[in-house]
Structure formats: structure tokens, C-alpha cells
Structure 1
Amino acid sequence: MRNIKLKLVYYSKLAHKKGLTGSFGGNISVRMGKYVFIKATGGIMEELTPEQIATITINGDVISPIRPSSEYRLHIGVYRNRHDVNAVVHLHPPYAITLSMFEKEAPMLTPEAELYLRKVPVLPFRPAGSVELAEQVSEAIKNYDAVILERHGIVTVGRSLREAFYKAELVEEISRLWYQRFIVEREG
């Protein structure tokens, strides 16, 4: 259990360091059997400690003394719909958020994106932490390993936390490339 919490802390700090999310934004979780480990509500990604990782059951029962992220329903919904998934990464990367305001899906601009992501739809805006957002994401993630949330961020999944994290990086990379192409075409 301690090892899982240390990995969550590591990838949370790495997400902040790489500019994939700001202070309070984003949350990461790992499933282990019937338990889900997730960033606590109000936890700051760059300052996260193992003590700020909440533990809940796959049914959403909180079993740790701290409250889970307000997005815990989203994470649990994904795990219920994807038995092959053991990690969920939800971040607020700026280029992906920008793309979400102009496109209905992210263009697969690199061979890696085509291979590892195949397709990344942009889901219509739903309020953060809402049941509607959780239902929308858990339904969409049945068919995709990554989705972009309009004006909100991204959700990626993987068999491991490492895999889910690097898919998040890949979504932001293609979003940055899209943005650079968008700017060049507008100035062109």
C-alpha cells in the first residue's frame, strides 16, 4: 500500500513539474483489487504526500480518515466499466483544454498517437465533480483510452499508472502540435 501511495505522489508531482496541471487541478488514482487509492480533496499536486492519498472501495465507500477528490465518482465509474484498467489520470493540461474549445476530437498528428491512442474525442462540458461528468466519462472510456473534457482537462487510463501517465503526456503533445499548426495557419 505504501508503494502505491509513493507512486501516486511521484506521478502527481511529475504532472505538475511537466506543466500538465496546476496546483489543485487534477487527480490520479490506482486500483488494487476492490480498493482505489486517490488524491485527497484539496491536495496540491506539487506538494502531495502519501498522507494525502485517500482510500476508497470500488463502491465509493471512504475507508481512510481523509476525503477523496471530488472526482472520485469519475474514477470509480471508469474502473467499473474497464476491468483491464488499473490507473486513471485526470489532469488539466493547457493545450488540450485549448483544443477542446475548437475541435470535437484531437487529431492524431504523430505515429505514437495513432498507435497508443487511436482516437481521442472531446466530450461536451459537464461541471467538475458532478455525477453527469462521471457518467459521461465512464461511458466514453469504454471505447477509448483517452478523452478530452471541454474546458476542463483530460482523462487517460492504463494497465499501470506509468502507462496512463504517458498517455496523458501524449494527449498534451498532440494538442500542443495542433495549437502550433493552428497558429501558423492563422498567421499564414
Structure 2
Amino acid sequence: MDEKELREALVYWGRKIIEKKLVVGAGGNISARYKDIMLISPSGLGFDELEPKDYIAVNLETGKTVSDGRPSSEVVMHWFCYLGRPDINAVVHTHPPLTIGVIAGGGRIGPMFPDFVAYLGSLGYIDYVTPCTAELARAVQSQVKDKNGVLMLGHGALTVGQNLKEAFQRTELIEESARILIAAKQFGEPRILTSKECDEIRNLDAEKYRMELIKKANSR
């Protein structure tokens, strides 16, 4: 995938975020790695307003902007994710309402069904830290080193992936898990899968095959 195609993919997945109501207005930000730069959404504009040319190039070695425009105010958080995870190529930060509500109420989202285990793993949690700060960026970096999703109290969710599709679908999965958790609590205490059950799911041939397909997937 060349830079032009990646910019088009950023527009596509950014509009998917709006479509799925994972942000409102100019909320949220996404980025993707391209060689020695990341392309990140600009500050102050909603995903549905952006065109391919609007995504800002940032040098991954220095963290400095190398194209016109002002990057998202969360640019350092994205940068630190790439520095800590050379295996990832995309970062998605959104404000999924049910997820924010669950963690605001002191809840935690655990594995209740196989897709959570196979596709997401476990989640990291961060107590409230002022957005757009180096402190938050460092806190996120410490969590994503061994997790693919992080929930930030009073803020939102961040997911990483080998491509934009994977990072986006992990965000969707977190919000769907929050929805299931809320529904389950209407009837009692939700049942979380045990460690043994999670290990059995990870070792299924079907899940291993699916994960290999994801690794090979194009961002689009």
C-alpha cells in the first residue's frame, strides 16, 4: 500500500467511526504508520470533514510534523504507541459512549464471549489523566506494550492493530462488550470466561487461522 492508498484508507475508517457513533463532532483521532512517518488526523476537524490530503505527516523518529497543518492534540500519545510497539501500524482513539459509561461507573469489561479473547485479549485501564498531555501518552504507552486496547477513565478508548481495519474492529468489539455487559447486569452478575476457557479458545485451529488472515489483511 502506497501513501496515497493509506491516506484514502484513513478517510474510509475515519468515516466508519462517525457512522458507528464512536465519536461526535471533532472528537477522536486516528493514525497509521507509513515507512518512517505516521499519518494522523488533524486538530479541530471531524472525520466526516477530512479528505486524504488533510492527514498530517509526523516523523516517527523525532515526533516532529513534516507536512503542512496542525496534527491532533493527541499526537504524542499516538507517537508513543508506535515507539513502544514496532509490530503495530495503526492507532484508533475514540469516545465510545457505552464504554465510557461502564468505566465511569467503576465497571470493568472482561471476556464474556470468544471473539473478545481471540481478537482483543485483555484490556488496560488508566485512571483519569488530563488529555493531550505527555503524562497520558506515557501511561498509554506503558499499557499498550502488551495490550491491544486501553480504556481511559473520563476520556475514551484506544486500540492498536497491524492495520486500520484491525484497530477499528477492536474498538467496535470493546463497545459491543460494554453493551453486552450492561445487558447482562439487568439479569444478574455477568459470567466472565475463566483463564482455562480463554486458553482453549486461543488454541482453537479456527481462531489461529482467523488471526493469520488478519495479519495478512490489507488496511482497507
Report TM bin, short chain. Answer: over 0.9
2:42 to 40, 50, 56: 40
Structure-2 residue corresponding to 1:158? 161
Hey, what's the Cα distance between the residues in 2 that align with 1:64 and 1:111?
Answer: 42
Aligned partner of 1:73 in structure 2 is: 76
Deviation at 1:151, TM superposition (A): 1.4
Q: Take 1:108 and 1:52, find their aligned partners in 2: how far apart are those partners?
A: 37
Specify every segment of 5 or more residues in structure 1 that has no aligned partner in the other structure, as ranges. none
Instruction: State the distance in 1 between where 2:146 and 2:124 align.
Output: 10
TM-score by length of 1: 0.94
TM-aligned CA deviation for residue 104 of structure 1: 5.8
- Alpha-carbon distance in structure 2 between the residues aligned to 1:97 and 1:174: 12
Amino acid at match of 2:126: L
* Residues 125, 149 of structure 1: 8 Å contact kept: yes
Q: Secondary structure at the match of 1:105?
A: coil
Task: Give, in angstroms, the shift of residue 178 of structure 1.
Answer: 1.1
- Contact 1:22 1:45 survives alignment (8 Å): no
- What do the CA deviations read for 1:129-180 (whole angstroms, capped 9, x no partner)? 1111101001110010001111111110111111111111101110111122
AA in 1 matched with 2:140: V
Of residues 52, 55, 61, the one that matches 2:54 is: 52
Q: Is the 8 A contact 1:16 1:45 kept in 2?
A: yes
**1:184 to partner: Cα distance:** 4.5
Q: Match of 1:122, as an amino acid?
A: Y
How many correspondences in the alignment?
186
Alignment of 1:127-166 (within 5 A): 127-166=130-169
- Output aligned runs, 1:167-186, within 5 Å: 167-185=170-188
Identity %: 32
Partner of 1:20: 22
Q: Determine whether 1:108 maps to 2:111.
A: yes
Question: What displacement does 1:183 show?
Answer: 4.2
Paired with 2:168 and 2:68, the residues of 1 have a C-alpha distance of 27
1:103 deviates by 3.6
How far apart, CA to CA, are the structure 1 residues paired with 2:164 and 2:124? Answer: 21
Q: What stretches of structure 2 of length at least 5 have no aligned partner?
A: 190-220
1:124 aligns with 2:131: no
Q: CA separation in 1, counterparts of 2:54 and 2:81?
A: 22
Confirm or deny: 8 A CA contact 2:124 2:144 kept in the other structure: no
CA distance in 2, matches of 1:43, 1:36: 18
More strand by share: 1
Provide closer, same or farther for how the CA distance between residues 6 and 98 of structure 1 changes in structure 2, counting only shifts above 3 A.
same
